[in-house]
C-alpha cells in the first residue's frame, strides 16, 4: 500500500463522526471523490453519493457508512462532569478509563476520560460485575458547570474515542478507531477511483451513509434516492482469530480475505447476486471468507428493502475488537476487498444485471 492510500485511511479514521454528526468524514469523502466523480450529491440526512458514468446502463450502488460508535453529552453536573448517552452498541467493559474527545458547536475539541467510582469503594458484589454504563461519566478537568459552559460544551455535543492510527510494529496489521466503518468508506472511494480510470459498463454510485450504527437509517434514504438495480454494502465483520474465540462464535482470520455474508439478522442475500460474487472471487483467485452474523446486520438490510426490492449483498472486512476504542484490520483484507468490488462492478453490464434480476 502506497503512502497516498495509507494517508486516506489515516484521514478517515482520524475524522470524528458519530451518528448524526458525520460532517468531518463527509468532508474527507468529498475531497477525495471529487477528482473521480461526474457529480456528488446527498440525501436529506447527509449520506454522500458520488456518481460516475453516463446514464443509460444499469445503476450499481456501493456504499459504506460514515458513522462510528461513540457518545453524546446529555448533561453537565454542578461539579463539571459530563453525563453521556452511547451511540451504537457499546460493551461497558471496554469503556472505563478510556480517553475521549468532545467537539463543541464552534469546533473546539475538549479532551476527557471516562470515569467511575474506584473499585476500592465498591462492595464485592458490585466489584465483580460489569460496571453499569449509566453510572459512568466523563471527566474533562473542569471544576463547575459554569466552567464547562464557558468552554463551549453543551448537551448534544459529539463525543468520540481518542486513539491514533498505528501500523503495528512494521506489520500489515493496522490499528485505529472507527474501522467500523471507515474501512468500508475507503473501499467505496478506492473502487470509484479504479473504475473512473479503468472504465465500467454501468452507472456507478459510490457512497457512504449516515447513521448506520443506530438502525441502518441513512441506507434507507440514500438507496431510495439512487434507486439502483444492484447494491453492495461495504462494512466490517467480526474476526475470530483471537484467543478464546470458537468457530461457532466467529471463524474469520485477519489476512485471509474479505468476508462475504451469507446470512445476517437484517438480510438473506439475493441468491443469484451472491453466487455471482462468489464465482467472480473464485475465478480471479481473490481470497475470501464466508461469514454469518446472527446478532447484527449491515446497510444491505435496508438496501434490499428499498422501493420494489434491490438485489443486495454485504462484503465486509474482518476486524478485531469491534465497537471499542482500538480495533485492528489487516492490510491485505482491505486491498483484496477493493480488488473484488472493482471486478464485480466491471462485470455488471446490462445482460448480467438482467440475468441476476430475472425470475423467469
Q: Is position 235 annotated in a ligand binding site? A: yes
Distance CA 189, CA 57 (A): 21
pLDDT at 293: 87
Neighbours of 153 (CB within 10 A): 26
Distance CA 312, CA 50 (A): 19
Examine residue 181 and say whether the peptide bond preceding it is cis (omega within 30 degrees of 0): yes
pLDDT at 231: 98
199: region left, alpha or beta (phi > 0 left; psi from -120 to 50 alpha): left
pLDDT at 44: 98
> Which three three-digit cell numbers place residue 202?
454501468
Alpha helices in 130-216 (DSSP H): 145-150, 179-198
Of 42, 43, 27, 31, nearest to 4 (Cα)? 31
Strand partners, 100: 112, 161
pTM score, whole prediction: 0.96
User: Tens of pLDDT along 42-61?
Assistant: 999 999 999 999 999 999 99
pLDDT at 128: 77
CB 151 within 8 A of CB 112: no
Q: Is position 200 annotated in a ligand binding site? A: no
Q: Which residues of the chain have pLDDT under 50?
A: none
Distance CA 338, CA 342 (A): 6
What is the set of active-site residues? 212
> Which three three-digit cell numbers place residue 47?
449520506
Angle between helices 23-33 and 3-14 (to 10 degrees): 160
User: What sign has the CA pseudo-torsion 65, 237, 223, 276?
Assistant: positive
Domains and CATH numbers, the chain: 3-68+177-357 (3.40.630.10), 71-161 (2.40.30.40)
> Which three three-digit cell numbers place residue 234?
461495504
Provide DSSP, 239-264. ---STT--TTT----TTS--EEEEEE
Q: Is position 65 annotated in a ligand binding site? A: yes
Amino acid at each position: 500500500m502506497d503512502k497516498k492510500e495509507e494517508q486516506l485511511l489515516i484521514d478517515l479514521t482520524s475524522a470524528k463522526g458519530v451518528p448524526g454528526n458525520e460532517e468531518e468524514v463527509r468532508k474527507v469523502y468529498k475531497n477525495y471523490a471529487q477528482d473521480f466523480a461526474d457529480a456528488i450529491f446527498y440525501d436529506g440526512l447527509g449520506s454522500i453519493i458520488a456518481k460516475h458514468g453516463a446514464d443509460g446502463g444499469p445503476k450499481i450502488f456501493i456504499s459504506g457508512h460514515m458513522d462510528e460508535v461513540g457518545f453524546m453529552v446529555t448533561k453537565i453536573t454542578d461539579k463539571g462532569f459530563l453525563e453521556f448517552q452511547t451511540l451504537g452498541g457499546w460493551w461497558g467493559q471496554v469503556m472505563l478509563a478510556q480517553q475521549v474527545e468532545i467537539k463543541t458547536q464552534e469546533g473546539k475539541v475538549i479532551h476527557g476520560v471516562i470515569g467511575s467510582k474506584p473499585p476500592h469503594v465498591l462492595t464485592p458484589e458490585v466489584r465483580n460485575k460489569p460496571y453499569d454504563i449509566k453510572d459512568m461519566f466523563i471527566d474533562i478537568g473542569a471544576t463547575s458547570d459554569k466552567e464547562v459552559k464557558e468552554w463551549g460544551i453543551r448537551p448534544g455535543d459529539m463525543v468520540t474515542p481518542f486513539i491514533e492510527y498505528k501500523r503495528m510494529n512494521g506489520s500489515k496489521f493496522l490499528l485505529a478507531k472507527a474501522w467500523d466503518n471507515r474501512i468500508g468508506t475507503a473501499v467505496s472511494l478506492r473502487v470509484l477511483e479504479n473504475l473512473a480510470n479503468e472504465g465500467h459498463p454501468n452507472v456507478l454510485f459510490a457512497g457512504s451513509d449516515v447513521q448506520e450504527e443506530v438502525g441502518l437509517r441513512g441506507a434507507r434514504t440514500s438507496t431510495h434516492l439512487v434507486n439502483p438495480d444492484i447494491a453492495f454494502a461495504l462494512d466490517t465483520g467480526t474476526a475470530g482469530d483471537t484467543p478464546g474465540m470458537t468457530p461457532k462464535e466467529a471463524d474469520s482470520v485477519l489476512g485471509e480475505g474479505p468476508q462475504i455474508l451469507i446470512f445476517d439478522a437484517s438480510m438473506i442475500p439475493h441468491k443469484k447476486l451472491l453466487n455471482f460474487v462468489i464465482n467472480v472471487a473464485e475465478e480471479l483467485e481473490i481470497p475470501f471468507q464466508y461469514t454469518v452474523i446472527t446478532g447484527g446486520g449491515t446497510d444491505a438490510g435496508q438496501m434490499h428493502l428499498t422501493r420494489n426490492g434491490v438485489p443486495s449483498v454485504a462484503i465486509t472486512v474482518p476486524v478485531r475488537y469491534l465497537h471499542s476504542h482500538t480495533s485492528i484490520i489487516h492490510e491485505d483484507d482491505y486491498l483484496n476487498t477493493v480488488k473484488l468490488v472493482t471486478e464485480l462492478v466491471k462485470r455488471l453490464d446490462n445482460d448480467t444485471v438482467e440475468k441476476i434480476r430475472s425470475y423467469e
